[in-house]
Amino acid sequence: MAASKKSSNIWLKVLGVLTVIVILSFIVYFLMMIPDYRLDFDGGPHWAPKTGIQVCNTFKIDNTIGKELTFSASIPDNISGVEYRVSYFKTFTWTGKTYQSSTGDKTVGGLTPEHTYYIQARYYRMNMMGRKVKGLWSSARPATVRNIHIANH
């Protein structure tokens, strides 16, 4: 009788320790979800507020060459470049192809004439480890590829 009571006390202690570990892991998980207090691996102090990258909403789309679209965006200070995403579908923009530019200007060729593409842009910067820290995608903007032969007649 005494042996079974002793083993049940050990199991209760183990269960209590496991419960505390699970509760603490949930607390740490939810603290990590707060955007201003994520761990900062850019060389700064841990639990320092992360500085976000602004959304690239001011980019220009030009279609004067035919089967090509030209994008341009001004790159602010502390930003390394801009990425453009060209998608065939409005609702599935994540299926688009991504193009990168460190100057802000990019020309994409080989597009289907008379079709509307959806373009998004986002800034990125390189951290101290040489990794790309990306901002959020802008809202999708439509651009129709004009056929140069139809435009000249």
pLDDT tens-digit series, residues 69-126: 889 998 888 889 999 999 988 888 888 889 999 998 999 988 888 888 999 999 998 8
CB of 38 within 8 A of CB of 32? yes
- Nearest CA-CA partner of 34 in 48, 22, 44, 20: 48
Overall pTM > 0.75: no
Residue 149 in tokens:
């032969």
CB of 122 within 8 A of CB of 56? yes
Domains of the chain, by residue range, sit at 2-33, 59-152
Q: Kindly report the CATH number that applies to the domain delimited by 59-152.
A: 2.60.40.10
Angstrom distances, CA of residue 116 to CA of 8, 16, 71, 86, 103: 69, 60, 15, 10, 25
Q: What is the pLDDT of residues 128-150, one digit of tens each?
A: 888 888 888 899 899 888 776 55
